[in-house]
């Protein structure tokens, strides 16, 4: 087994780039949206087979065990080469939750099947009346022997059309304060009582879904972190999710697309455009540097701090500003869903603009994160 941390950063970057160029199909690179499993599974399986899938997982659980420097190099190379995020719920969310809060038996059962792609995951957190106020979830799980029977509804479940397992926050005790009566449970989606309905977004995609749960069964042994301790597990998971959403990944790819659109539109020599582009590029470089510092702190402290909220706001709003400039210079092609051919080249400014709307909402709206910073960092009254 290769010890990646013994390599120099330069050698590791070359190895990562060589793997991406060889294994990631060209048609999956620099996409404005997340591809479906039937198209992207070849890339997921290649990463799994060659040991490049889980850079942050410890080696003993099948990950790469990268130190902070190598992990950041990994992210930079994969971002620069435009690789897609494929079925990230398992690797980014469920895996770390099990490593941090699961039992040995849960890790042994689930982690290898996440890495192989056998179990693909959807998140069951948000509900129609419990979005940013996640503690208000009403989906209920009642004990029945060595199982729980779950009834309720989840919404905005990313990737649920392709998932065969869900991890969900459910209410297991109504007699205590709302945060204290929640449990984090996992269950298969290919069972009677699970209904998945896609939500078509303004960009035309169906990445998000609503999921209806009617007497769905979950094994008691698949509760993570203990009964009524789901709030702690969910907060740990959401910290990692928010830190990930604060990466410069999407912004860097958006800048690549913006430059392509500007070249096709003949704007690269326009002084006004170049000034605005440079400001955005500097914002993204500053974001990347701050993200680097935060991830290094995470490797040391093993705790996601309030800076995750700052990064989330910074990254998602910057990505929106890049999309807005793309729309402004895109001309007629900015009005056509899916783009159009101009001078034998494909120009699509509308899809990236529309795709940038949702990230300021999911994982907690930017307004919620500003309140978090105001209360916990600035000590302002709420």
pLDDT at 166: 98
Q: What is the pLDDT of residues 6-47, one digit of tens each?
A: 999 899 999 999 999 999 999 998 886 788 899 999 999 999
Nearest-angstrom CA–CA distance, 37 and 121: 11
Indicate the DSSP class of residue 183.
E
Higher-scoring residue by pLDDT: 283, 376: 283
Which whole-number Å values give the CA distances from 173 to 105, 121, 176, 180, 186, in the listed order?
Answer: 25, 25, 7, 8, 18
Q: Which of 207, 241, 307, 355 is catalytic?
A: 241
Q: Kindly state whether residues 207 and 286 are assigned to the same domain.
A: no
Q: Which burial class, exposed, middle or buried, applies to 190 when counting CB atoms under 10 A from its CB (0-12, 13-18, 19+)?
A: exposed
Q: Which domain holds residue 15?
A: 4-86
Nearest-angstrom CA–CA distance, 185 and 193: 16
Nearest-angstrom CA–CA distance, 382 and 366: 16
pLDDT at 345: 65
User: Domain of 141: which CATH number?
Assistant: 2.40.110.10
Q: Give the N- to C-terminal CA distance of the chain in Å, as an integer.
A: 52
Give domain status of residue 208, yes or no: yes
Give domain status of residue 312, yes or no: yes
Q: Show the CA angle centred on residue 178, arms to residues 209 and 218, nearest 5°.
A: 50
Nearest-angstrom CA–CA distance, 379 and 373: 8
Give domain status of residue 39, yes or no: yes
Give domain status of residue 125, yes or no: yes
Q: What pTM value is reported for the model? A: 0.81
User: Domain of 59: which CATH number?
Assistant: 1.10.540.10
Nearest-angstrom CA–CA distance, 168 and 28: 30
Residue 382 has pLDDT above 70, yes or no: no
Catalytic residue check, 241: yes
Q: What is the pLDDT of residues 77-101, one digit of tens each?
A: 988 888 988 888 999 899 999 999 9
Q: What is the pLDDT of residues 108-122, one digit of tens each?
A: 999 999 999 999 999
Q: How many domains does the chain have?
A: 3
Residue 380 near residue 323 (C-beta atoms within 8 A): no
- Check residue 167 and give left, alpha or beta (phi > 0: left; psi -120 to 50: alpha): beta
Residue 54 near residue 94 (C-beta atoms within 8 A): no
- Scored b (16 or more CB within 10 A) or e, 255-264 reads bebbebbbeb
| The two three-digit tokens of residue 150, written as one number | 């779950």
User: Domain of 330: which CATH number?
Assistant: 1.20.140.10
Nearest-angstrom CA–CA distance, 322 and 301: 33
Indicate the DSSP class of residue 182.
E
Give the 3-state secondary structure of residue 64.
Answer: coil
Domain boundary among 86, 107, 142: 86
């Amino acid at each position: 087994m290769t010890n990646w941390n013994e390599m120099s950063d330069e050698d590791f970057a070359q190895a990562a780039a060589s793997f991406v160029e060889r294994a990631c199909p060209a048609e999956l690179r620099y996409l404005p949206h997340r591809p479906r499993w039937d198209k992207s599974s070849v890339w997921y399986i290649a990463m799994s087979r060659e040991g490049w899938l889980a850079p942050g997982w410890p080696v003993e659980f099948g990950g790469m065990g990268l130190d902070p420097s190598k992990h950041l190099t990994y992210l930079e190379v994969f971002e620069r080469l435009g690789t897609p995020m494929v079925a990230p719920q398992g690797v980014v969310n469920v895996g770390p939750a099990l490593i941090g809060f699961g039992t040995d038996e849960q890790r042994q059962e689930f982690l290898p099947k996440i890495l192989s792609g056998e179990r693909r995951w959807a998140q069951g957190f948000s509900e129609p009346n419990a979005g940013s106020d996640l503690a208000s979830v009403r989906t209920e799980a009642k004990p029945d022997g060595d199982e729980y029977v779950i009834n309720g509804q989840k919404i905005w479940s990313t990737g649920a059309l392709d998932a065969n397992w869900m991890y969900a926050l459910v209410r297991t005790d109504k007699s205590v304060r709302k945060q204290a009566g929640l449990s984090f449970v996992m269950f298969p989606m290919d069972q009677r009582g699970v209904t998945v309905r896609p939500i078509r977004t303004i960009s035309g995609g169906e990445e998000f879904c609503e999921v209806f749960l009617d007497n769905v069964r979950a094994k008691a042994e698949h509760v993570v972190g203990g009964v009524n301790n789901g709030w702690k597990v969910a907060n740990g998971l959401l910290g990692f999710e928010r830190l990930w959403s604060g990466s410069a990944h999407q912004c860097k790819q958006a800048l690549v697309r913006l430059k392509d659109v500007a070249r096709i539109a003949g704007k690269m020599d326009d002084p006004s455009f170049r000034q605005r582009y440079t400001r955005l590029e500097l914002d993204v470089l500053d974001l990347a540097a701050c993200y680097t510092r935060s991830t290094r702190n995470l490797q040391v402290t093993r705790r996601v701090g309030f800076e995750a909220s700052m990064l989330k706001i910074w990254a998602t709003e910057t990505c929106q500003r890049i999309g807005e400039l793309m729309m402004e210079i895109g001309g007629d092609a900015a009005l056509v869903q899916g783009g159009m051919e101009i001078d034998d080249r494909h120009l699509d400014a509308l899809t990236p603009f529309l795709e940038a709307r949702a990230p300021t909402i999911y994982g907690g709206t930017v307004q919620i994160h500003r309140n978090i910073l105001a209360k916990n960092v600035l000590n302002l009254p709420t």
